[in-house]
Structure 1
């Protein structure tokens, strides 16, 4: 992202931040874009602004269609431990994959673009349920409304499953999808650092910088001055990992989201050797992204999918137990690093307010039934028995 934008561009950006309706945002964003100089340093910013304009126009169109009672439904309420969006180019077998894994009634056809709206289904791994969402084809470079809506689904999801067809060019198709998502601020590789800017529209918070990582080329005071130059005077800035001042400026314009992902080379039944070769190449190019070779037709290759999703999403299962009672059959699904406090919050706020102690059985306990406090970090499979006053 560019540093040292002209004063005119910064002033125009303030108008973008002040805009409330999509129509106002479009007008302000167009004026901002006209004030941004054209050179290599602003290329990504200009691309983002152009994409954002397309999204806002699509938002207006969706609203118009809703009023008219037309158009497919593109919001899917989250269910289960996590929502996983299944995406890919046309005719790669996304619908078949979702169907065999979840039993969902997806539309399966030999021609492309047979799926025109998202279809959810529940996939079970041990005692964990994942919600898989079949989607219309993702067409990198397209400015169609359908593409924008799929991107919207991805931004709201917890993870992405990318289905590629061994018949096509899996590597080229993955790179095109990668670039498309990246242009919308969706990252498939975990970034070295992250900036979260929580703006306050009123109050006397000022600009507070919380370091949960480190600033590489600046100080917290530099961050404050940068935000103030954009007339952001009330905000909490959270720094995770290794962050530069350029990263902070980027966060002013857009939020970049990391989404855990998995690549599936489908239709291995057509050419197993080629599928394995392409899968290995993709894994070599993207060592941090799991790759599996599978065949929806043969119903093979998906045996480790649940375990991969569980690990990539960094989840743990916690089983609760009442004092002198039975252990729950259905676990709480939490993130790695969660504590007894997170369990108490998940049950009811009174378990936090009246907390005395908890007993733990499992790998995080020094011995079975160890007494611990709210800050005790839990492990997958732990059993938690909370004792409260009264």
Structure 2
């Protein structure tokens, strides 16, 4: 199968070849991985890119430990069901949101640029954990290239905006313009390689004048991003946001039931939405790939232990019983 590389990938490849620093090389490789078409014809290329990225990160970490000078570099290992990065202008309340939803304890202050490095925290949603990462604010003068790299490699993003300021619209436009310069766009439904699946969070709903500013933001974002209004301080809207973050990841929870035994719903397998019985079997145990004879399915609708084929697409909450 031909690779059919996109113009965005070729441009990222050009940036890599022209890069003179490790940080710029890493940013270009991450952009190449994000924009390469995802099909069997590029599997080997994707694997090679991942190896090159890992090698470069290791090199940068060794350089950092040996006291080498240069710009700071950060990488956040993905944990849980998926990774959602919190993106926005200074003082939008990203750190307060992280503290309200997770076990993290970020520094919170009334002045901007409190967050200078990515800070992860684990958000509980029903029986899974979702990783949220608070990023430094996006500004014209203080945003390092590694920050855009973290956004590219995350599973999804949340654009956090500040309902306490009359500048909320212009702040949002500035952030979007800077992302555009970095060949990134936050959208609810990605249709291009440089698109990152995202939603918007209108924070500080408790602030004076917030309802009027919220109406303005809904009108501004209605064709690009779903918008959730919250107050991280008072807890308003946070439960709906937890569910939205999980759904944003594009994953489903599937449970394995051994024949003749009860299902354990405490530890689901996390699969991409659209995964089949065979893909679930591979995740549960590699031996099932060659030895699977049939599967039974219990679901929310019509399936109550019926046999299903290997290509049956699984839904969130499905229980499968594999027979080898």
TM-score range, shorter chain: 0.7 to 0.9
* Segment of structure 1 superposing worse, 282-291 or 99-108: 282-291
Q: Which residue in the other structure is 1:262 paired with?
A: 199
Question: Where does 1:273-312 land on structure 2 (aligned, <5 Å)?
Answer: 274-287=209-222, 288-312=224-248
| Secondary structure of the corresponding residue to residue 304 of structure 1 | helix
Q: Which residue in the other structure is 1:357 paired with?
A: 294
Q: Are the aligned partners of 2:23 and 2:146 in contact in 1 as well (CA < 8 Å)? A: no
Q: Which residue in the other structure is 2:305 paired with?
A: 369
Q: 2:89 matched to 1:89?
A: yes
Q: Which residue in the other structure is 2:174 paired with?
A: 176
Question: Where does 1:14-93 land on structure 2 (aligned, <5 Å)?
Answer: 16=14, 19=17, 22=20, 65-68=64-67, 74-93=74-93
- Unaligned stretches of 5+ residues in structure 1: 1-12, 28-58, 195-255
TM-score, reference length from structure 2: 0.76
* Equivalent in 144, 147, 150 of residue 147 of structure 1: 144
Structure 1 residue 280, shift from structure 2 partner: 2.7
For residues 82 and 101 of structure 2, what CA distance do their matches in structure 1 show? Answer: 15
* Equivalent in 254, 257, 269 of residue 318 of structure 1: 254
For residues 293 and 26 of structure 1, what CA distance do their matches in structure 2 show? Answer: 36
- Unaligned stretches of 5+ residues in structure 2: 1-10, 26-56
Larger Rg computed on CA atoms:
1
Structure 1 residue 26, shift from structure 2 partner: 8.2
Structure 1 residue 185, shift from structure 2 partner: 2.0
Structure 1 residue 270, shift from structure 2 partner: 2.1
Structure 1 residue 282, shift from structure 2 partner: 2.2
For residues 14 and 189 of structure 2, what CA distance do their matches in structure 1 show? Answer: 27
| Secondary structure of the corresponding residue to residue 114 of structure 1 | coil
* Equivalent in 144, 157, 169 of residue 160 of structure 1: 157
For residues 242 and 308 of structure 2, what CA distance do their matches in structure 1 show? Answer: 31
Deviations 1:27-74 (A, max 9, x none): 9xxxxxxxxxxxxxxxxxxxxxxxxxxxxxxx9998864541677661
Q: Are the aligned partners of 2:24 and 2:145 in contact in 1 as well (CA < 8 Å)? A: no
| Secondary structure of the corresponding residue to residue 121 of structure 1 | strand
TM-score, reference length from structure 1: 0.64
